[in-house]
Structure 1
């Protein structure tokens, strides 16, 4: 069962931009895991395989306002910070977990959360004040749904799929990255993770009938100490064209709904490739 959890955080001291990178947030997540299961934390650190979690960049909370810049339907999240986040500034951070085993092992962390315990992000200390796991009107990134529910609730007739790429997204092609959101790159990325974690394998699913019908994207560059990551942000709508079996339409819609949890493309455990389906 995939979970998309929002951790609400308050810094005890300023968080400087050099500690707000994907690498530092990845390290914070492993610290949280190791606090309840050291062996699991070490395993996740050492594993080179596709991992059963994704992370977002750290976001500053804004009361009674949209959670990020962008359209009413979708949004673009802040993927890098030029200035320090001040002491006491309310923040949020999304962690998604793609299998029950990982969620179960972290249950003690969620149940025994101590809002007075500081956690380290670089040179800063911060408190986890609460965790959200269900949808909120001002927080569309929180949710939980079983794989069976995702599949059963997926439409077998809806032909328009709009995807909000909220943090820079790119796909590996050979030795290099590509920022072109083709039907193959987007939906094969979703299919690979669905087949790995859901237990409901989609065999012989063909994407040839999917065509882009609306594109509003631009590229963003996210520098790191070792490299630069270039990815797209914005919205792309795809339309299923022609004579397509209802079961295939249902499977494609299930993949689109799954995007909220699994991310799209590369570096999803470093805050990149954060996306979700949006509807008018």
Structure 2
């Protein structure tokens, strides 16, 4: 392996062999970058990052470069913008010489992932963005190396809901316009297209999306819209923030689709969401990353507590069996959460149209379960 006179520090060591298993199909990388000196960065610098990355591919694998340049339906990689202290100044951003900036790159096909493994072993010293060179200080793995089959067969998460945060403006194409809302059908259609294109595990698109429309619900969200210049032309109105998706009870009638639902949630950080993901849009993370709302209503407090208790009771009842575990866990959680907020058992029973003695018993059982959990 060729080496440079000033080796780039790495958080992951590399030798002449692959950095991850040879069958890896998905990986996410994060680079730490530092400006050579304070300077200016033009507003649409993501175009420059896109061009620089493809130039790196061209130098070592022209055939792959041509494939990535072609207008294929789905791109086999994503790149982010720079994360860090970027200060707007007129029509440009100010880069501070003593700051570290983070840049994410993902590969979502085996061929691109193999190229990334080779490229990391002989990285250039810097990224040249016009007159703003950025030194590559180090790199690390941001999203673990994986295969599509591993995403599909992973155990269900402890929480039944999928939490996704959109850290850069995200949008979908719809009737020649941009659609800046995370409607479940659009979100999961975005992931399924990549899945069908690169996984080799094809799923009937119309059937799955019909299931998504009938069974997927948004349980909470915190969103803002933003209009940005993105890609090589045009303005995009997108959304940022976080969304939590859940499934209705009838979803269980298609366990194969439930399995795929969670697999696509795991795929999201690798492939991004929506369009123009190779120009920094649609960057997605698998957690709820937004700050808390400044004013929280009592209804929000109650809903959050019910969710918390439901997860605990569901996990416990799954260990002890029972076909109605989820339904009973939610009932216990609702009753106990309302009681904790000071409501009387009589009022709770009336609202839920349940016998008072049943509600009283459920509260006792729920409290006992929490004590055992603690």
Aligned counterpart, 1:235: 242
Alpha-carbon separation, structure 2, partners of 1:51 and 1:218: 26
Give the drift of 1:195.
1.4
Deviations 1:133-168 (A, max 9, x none): 1xxxxxxx4332221211111418953122111110
Alpha-carbon separation, structure 2, partners of 1:159 and 1:274: 23
In structure 2, relative to structure 1, the CA distance for the partners of 1:154 and 1:192 (3 Å cut) is farther
Give the drift of 1:259.
0.2
In structure 2, relative to structure 1, the CA distance for the partners of 1:218 and 1:156 (3 Å cut) is closer
Aligned counterpart, 1:216: 222
Aligned counterpart, 1:24: 48
Alpha-carbon separation, structure 1, partners of 2:51 and 2:38: 18
Alpha-carbon separation, structure 2, partners of 1:35 and 1:127: 19
Structure 1 counterpart SS, 2:251: coil
Alpha-carbon separation, structure 1, partners of 2:126 and 2:250: 57
Give TM-score, length-normalised by structure 2: 0.62
Number of equivalences: 255
Give the drift of 1:230.
1.2
In structure 2, relative to structure 1, the CA distance for the partners of 1:15 and 1:39 (3 Å cut) is farther
- RMSD between aligned residues: 2.5
In structure 2, relative to structure 1, the CA distance for the partners of 1:186 and 1:215 (3 Å cut) is same
Counterpart among 41, 49, 74 of residue 50 in structure 1? 74
Structure 2 counterpart SS, 1:142: strand
Give the drift of 1:106.
3.4
Point out where structure 1 has 5 or more consecutive residues left out of the alignment: 62-77, 134-140
Aligned counterpart, 2:280: 271
Aligned counterpart, 2:356: none
Deviations 1:45-76 (A, max 9, x none): 34353210011111127xxxxxxxxxxxxxxx
Give TM-score, length-normalised by structure 1: 0.82
Deviations 1:244-270 (A, max 9, x none): 233221110111111010111011000
Alpha-carbon separation, structure 1, partners of 2:235 and 2:81: 16
In structure 2, relative to structure 1, the CA distance for the partners of 1:38 and 1:131 (3 Å cut) is same
Alpha-carbon separation, structure 1, partners of 2:250 and 2:145: 33
Matching of residue 189 in structure 1 with residue 185 in structure 2: no
Aligned counterpart, 2:115: 105
Larger fraction in helix: 2
Give the drift of 1:87.
2.8
Matching of residue 149 in structure 1 with residue 150 in structure 2: yes
Aligned counterpart, 1:36: 60
Greater Cα offset, 105-114 or 269-278: 105-114
Aligned counterpart, 1:71: none
Give the drift of 1:93.
0.5
Give the drift of 1:197.
1.0
In structure 2, relative to structure 1, the CA distance for the partners of 1:217 and 1:42 (3 Å cut) is same
Greater Cα offset, 255-264 or 195-204: 195-204
Matching of residue 179 in structure 1 with residue 187 in structure 2: no
Counterpart among 140, 147, 152 of residue 132 in structure 1? 140
Aligned counterpart, 1:122: 130
In structure 2, relative to structure 1, the CA distance for the partners of 1:154 and 1:253 (3 Å cut) is farther
2:68 and 2:76 in contact (8 A); partners too: no
1:159 and 1:241 in contact (8 A); partners too: no
